[in-house]
Amino acid sequence: MKKIVALFSGEGTNLANLIEKIHLKHGAIVGAITNNPDAGGIAKARSAHIPVEILDHRDYESREAYDVALVELIGEYNPDLVVLCGFMRILTPIFTTQTKAINLHPSLLPAFKGARAIERSFESEEKICGVTVHWVSDELDGGDIILQKSFTKNPSDTLEEFSAKIREIEYEILPLSVIKILND
C-alpha cells in the first residue's frame, strides 16, 4: 500500500476528509506533521491512530533550518506522496526540491496565490471561483495543476456561504487528486 504523509496547520478538516476517503482504502496515511502545537487536526489524526509529529516552526531560526528538519522528519516515513492540506508555511527549495508533494489551494490558480485566498477571491470581481490541487514547486502556489474545480459566484452569498462552497470542493478534489497520483 502506498504511503502518504499529511502536513497541516489548523483544524484539520481536510486531513479528516483524507482519513475518511483515502486512509487504508487507497493508501495509508503513515504520519501527520503540523507546525502548530495547538492545531485541531492533531486530535483528528490521533483518533484515527495516525502518528502525529509537532514540528513548531518557532523553534527554528530560519525557514531553511525548519525545512531541513521537516524534510528529515518526512524522510523517516519514506512516503510515496506528501499532501499539504492546510499547511500554512511558505516552503523553501530545501523542501520543494527534495519532496514529492501536492498542495490544496482555495482559488483557481494562478489567481489569488498565497494567504487569504478565499477572502480575496470572495471580494474580487471574478464571477468564476474555485479550488486547485497542484504540485508543490519553488514558486509559491505555482506548481503544475493536477485538478481544478470551479463554481459561479453567487453575488448574494455571504463570505461564510462562499467559504462553505470552497470547502465542499476541497473535500471532493483533494482525495480525487491523491487517488489519481497513487494510481499513476
Q: List the catalytic residues.
A: 105
Residue 121 is placed in which grid cell? 477571491
How big is the CA angle at 106 (ends 137 and 68), to the nearest 5 degrees? 35
Phi (first) and psi of residue 35, to 5 degrees: -95, 0
Helix intervals (H) in the chain: 13-21, 41-47, 63-77, 93-96, 117-123, 159-183
Q: What is the DSSP letter of 110?
A: T
Residue 70 is placed in which grid cell? 521537516
Distance CA 1, CA 9 (A): 26
